[in-house]
Structure 1
Amino acid sequence: MRVTGGKSIYGAAVGILMLDARFPRIPGDMGNATTWPFPVHYKIVRSATPDRVVRGGAEGLLDVFVAAARELVADGVDGITTNCGFLSLFQEELADAVGVPVATSSLMQVAQVNRLLPKGRRAGILTISGSTLTPLHLEKAGVPEGTPVGTTEGGREFTRAILGNELELDVDAARQDNVEAARALVVANPDLGALVLECTNMVPYAADIRAATGLPVFSIETFVRWFQAALVPRTY
């Protein structure tokens, strides 16, 4: 058997562009490597803090994200994703710059999820920051106009701790914030047939949200597992 080289790293098809953060990343979080049943390759984008990306519109950060994405490809990854749904703003630019498939945001699933649902049902979005998730973020991710959006803003723990980049996280309080926000979104929009979690830090609470609302829950985990399956198909 003969094989061909050309990469520095093998076996990690998915490269993840990480925000420069220090808050706890519990199992289920995209930035906790134990979340994934397959190897991934991380690259921290220095100066891209949660607040700067989510509340600051990632202003001035495109070049550093492109540079980091190119480094991941040079290392050997076959596809790129990010650990913040708000980076849908950079979808086109990153894809054009790196020459491999790019999946910046879990929000890119919304239109597809809608096609799975019965007539009269649609997906809703749960975000960490409803006040700064703009129509442009949604447009760049291909989210249909009028899609309902709920948020954990105003909760006790989750939004504050993550966007404040705090060193401690009350997991039970963060879970409650997510569950309460999801329930409120469903009550306000009884036609919902599924939920899409914008924030990659919401994944640890997906099962709780599913139990509380009875709706299917799509997240960055479901998106990246699908992405990985295309980059590295199973051999039969």
Structure 2
Amino acid sequence: MKVQGGKAIYGASVGILMLEARFPRIPGDMGNAASWDFPVHYKIVRGASPDRVVRRNAEGLLPDFIAAAQELVADGVDGITTNCGFLSIFQHDIAKAVGVPVATSSLMQTAMVNALLPPGKRAGILTISASTLTPAHLEAAGVPPGTPIGTTEGGREFTRAILGNELELDVAAAEADNVEAARQLVSDNPDIGALVLECTNMGPYAQAIRETTGLPVFSIPNFVSWFQAGLAPKRYG
């Protein structure tokens, strides 16, 4: 048997562009390698703080994200994703620059989730920062206009700790923020039939949200696992 070379790294099809952050990343968080059932390859984009990306529209960072994505592809990954849903605004530019499949944001699942639901039902989005999630972010991810959006802003722990890049996280309080925000979103919009979690740090709380709302919950682990399955299909037989 002969095999083909040309890469520096093998066995990690997915490359993840990471913000530069120090807050705790627990299992289920995209930045915790134990969250994945397959190898991934991480690349930190220096200077891309949570505050700068989420609250300041990732200003001035596009060249840095493109360069980091190109390095991941040169290393050997087959597809690129990122660890912030707000990076949907870079979807087109990164994809154009690297020439491999790119999935910048969990928000990209929204239209697909809508297609799964019965008539009269639609997906709702839960975000870490509704005040800075703009129509441009949503349009770049293909989110239908008028999609209901809820947020953990104003909660006790989650948004403050993550966007403030704090060194300590009260997990129970962060979960409570996510659950309460999801409950309120569904209460305000009875036609919601599923939830899409924008923030890649919300993965650890997906099950609690599901149990509370009774609705399917789609997070970044769902999306990237689907993405990876296309990049490296399972061999049968």
- TM-score above 0.5: yes
Find the counterpart in structure 2 of residue 157 from structure 1: 157
Partner residue, 1:89:
89
Aligned length in residues: 236
State the match for 1:166 in structure 2: 166
CA distance in 2, matches of 1:2, 1:145: 51
Residue ranges of structure 1 left out of the alignment (5+ in a row)? none
Q: Matched residues in 2 for 1:124 and 1:185: separation? A: 8
Q: Report the 3-state secondary structure (helix = DSSP H, G, I; strand = E; otherwise coil) of the residue aligned with 2:124.
A: strand
What is the CA deviation profile of residues 207-235 of structure 1, one whole-angstrom value per residue up to 9, with x for unaligned ones? 00000000000011100000000000011
Query: Aligned to 1:196, what secondary structure does the other structure show?
Result: strand
Equivalent-residue separation in structure 2 for 1:91 and 1:55 (angstroms): 18
Q: CA deviation at 1:17?
A: 0.1
Q: How far apart, CA to CA, are the structure 2 residues paired with 1:234 and 1:137?
A: 33
Partners of 2:75 and 2:191 in 1: how far apart? 45
Query: 1:63-115, CA deviations, whole angstroms, 9 ceiling, x for partnerless residues?
Result: 00000000000000000000000000000000000000000000000001001
Distance 2:111 2:235 in 1: 30
Q: Which residue of 2 aligns with 1:196?
A: 196
What is the distance in 2 between the residues matched to 1:92 and 1:140? 8
1:97 aligned partner, one-letter code: A
- Pair 1:46-2:42 in alignment: no
Structure 1 position 170, deviation (Å) = 0.2
Query: Per-residue CA shift, 1:116-152, capped at 9, x if unaligned?
Result: 0000000000000000000110000000000000000
Q: Which AA in structure 2 matches 1:30?
A: M
Alignment correspondent of 1:133:
133
TM-score normalised by L of structure 1:
1.00
CA distance in 2, matches of 1:91, 1:215: 28
Question: Secondary structure, in 3 states, of the residue corresponding to 1:112?
Answer: helix
SS in 2 for 1:200: coil
| Residues 46-77 of structure 1 deviation map (CA, whole Å, 9 limit, x = unaligned) | 00000000000001000000000000000000
Please, what is the CA RMSD of the aligned residues?
Answer: 0.3
Q: Following TM superposition, by how much is the alpha carbon of 1:4 offset from its aligned partner in structure 2, in angstroms?
A: 1.2
Q: How many percent of aligned residue pairs carry the same amino acid?
A: 79
AA matched with 2:46:
R
Separation (CA, whole Å) in 1 of partners of 2:197 and 2:212:
15
Stretches of structure 2 lacking an aligned partner (at least 5 in a row): none
Paired position in structure 2 for 1:3 = 3
Q: Which runs of 4+ in 1 moved over 4 A?
A: none
Corresponding residue number in structure 1 for 2:231: 231
